[in-house]
Amino acid sequence: MLDSINIFLGFYFIVMGCITYKLFIWPYFISPLRKIPGPPSDSLIYGNLKTLMKEESGVPQLGWVEEHGKVITFHGLFNKPKLYIADAKLIQEILLNKAYDFIKPPSVAIISLIGRGLILAEGEDHKRQRKMSNPAFTYSNIKEMVPSCVRVASTLKDLIEDKINSGETNINLTPYISKATLDVIGLVGFNYEFNSLTSPNELAVAYDSIFNSPVTPLRIALNIISNYIPLVREIPLEPNKRFKNACEVSSRVSKRLVEERYNEAKNEELKGRDLLSLLININNKLPAEEKMSDEELKYQIMTFLFAGHETVGISTCWALYSLAQHPHEQDSLREELVKAFPDKSKFNPTYDDINSLEYLNCVVKESLRLNPPASTIVRTNLKDEVMENYFIPKNTEISLGILALHKSTEVWGPTADNFDPKRWLDTSLTKNVSNLNYLPFLTGPRNCIGSKVALTEFKVLLSMLIRNFVFKPIEGFHIRKRSFPAPKPDPYLGLAVSIVES
């Protein structure tokens, strides 16, 4: 009996010793990151996570930079020390000069949802996938996607117009824009008619269940803990059921689309200019060692669905929100659009038309500056590094502060926090702007391959909406920015909408 008690006590003290070391001794007395300034940990368990997740805290990293500098230590789950960097030169080193020495830390949730396509592939796999995919994103291919963007934008316009004509002026625009961007990526990505704007679609429903459902502490906890203990996704909880269904639907739809295009290719009928058809035709001409596997092609679809759908939808929502808050800027953009397209019933721009609009370009750039698709991106170093004379041990999780760069007064002046599209017409300011301090689509070999597609779709949707409608805030309705699972307007983008008659 005594031996059993001694064994138990020994095991207990070993476990408690490991926990104490992990939560307290390592972060405060041993980790090299302890020498780097930063905010104090709020909790031995949660670190600074609660502060990061609080809606009322905004983007606390901006305050950290102001107080502690551009290289900061903060604490994650179980008090794990992490690095936050808002220095343009260091970010250049990580994203441009040593892109493959800093990998994306594995996320069970994202891998399950989109697979290891271009976003999550690493090293030689990423280089091969990127090289093979580049020819699909040429100017000649992208300009042929514009009519599909215009067609979906027109459907979106008609639906909003119908709601207004039926007497509804305060409109929740989030689901409309989300479905519109899904329909566009279906057409330009796979020549597939999702038609989610006008009819129920299982993929739209599945995505909506994880991206637009309420954010709860349980959802956040499951997402974080699953990176350490993947089996928690098997617990039959409602957030897990929604997530697993979205993964299953995305995988099944992607597999079906690949099979359909392969069958067309076998019959020499694959003539489409959508991204998937282009990729398959390119792939079929490559030597075996450069080809993508069927599984990798499926991952590209899942990646396009996720990235092309969510990022453009979020960006369009925030642009409308900013223009509603700044009616003079909205009027200026509408004046440019009216001049370019006097008859709104004949709004049918080409790629060159939409990219020639100077003020539209300013509005889009400014909106992406203040609301980049990802305000922070995360990397992990594969080997020891020295940054700003600090030793950074390998496998350190490093957050790159994109929004901190976008709001730096050193680059953008004292009005860096303000929505001011005209700043992009100021050559004394723009001469200091580069792909090292303005990074809505990142930079280097891992930048967004579909950025020109996304920008084109964004501009077409925004132009259609501003040319046809006036957007104003709803009195008494407050919109916040939530940080999880995507930086969307919370609880939704609700605006008062009226029709432009002339």
Contact indicator for 471, 329 with CB cutoff of 8 Å: no
pTM for this prediction: 0.91
pLDDT at 378: 93
| Window from 57-71, 202-216, 236-250 with minimum mean pLDDT | 202-216
Contact indicator for 50, 43 with CB cutoff of 8 Å: yes
Separation of alpha carbons 152 and 172, rounded Å: 18
**pLDDT single digits (tens) 25-50:** 877 778 888 899 999 999 888 888 88
Q: What is the mean pLDDT of the chain?
A: 88
Domains of the chain: 31-107+374-439 (3.30.43.20), 116-351+440-502 (1.10.630.10)
Q: Edge-to-edge strand order for the sheet containing 494-499?
A: 170-172, 494-499, 469-473
CA dihedral 49, 55, 61, 66 (to 10 degrees): -130
Under DSSP, the state recorded for 79 is: G
Asked whether the predicted pLDDT for residue 9 surpasses 70, the reply is: no
pLDDT at 406: 95
Tell me the CA end-to-end span of the chain in Å, nearest whole number.
Answer: 91
Contact indicator for 384, 391 with CB cutoff of 8 Å: yes
**pLDDT single digits (tens) 273-324:** 888 888 888 888 888 888 888 888 888 888 887 777 788 999 999 999 999 9
Token pair, residue 176, equals: 């409309």
Residue 448 annotated in ligand binding: yes
pLDDT classification of 157: cutoffs 50, 70, 90: very high
Asked whether the predicted pLDDT for residue 405 surpasses 70, the reply is: yes
Three-class secondary structure assignment of 390-442? EEECCCCEEEEEHHHHHCCHHHHCCCCCCCCHHHHHCHHHHCCCCCCCCCCCC
| Beta bridge mates, 499 | 469
Region of 138 (left: φ > 0; alpha: ψ -120 to 50; beta: rest) is: beta
pLDDT classification of 11: cutoffs 50, 70, 90: low
| Window from 219-223, 332-336, 481-485, 488-492 with minimum mean pLDDT | 481-485
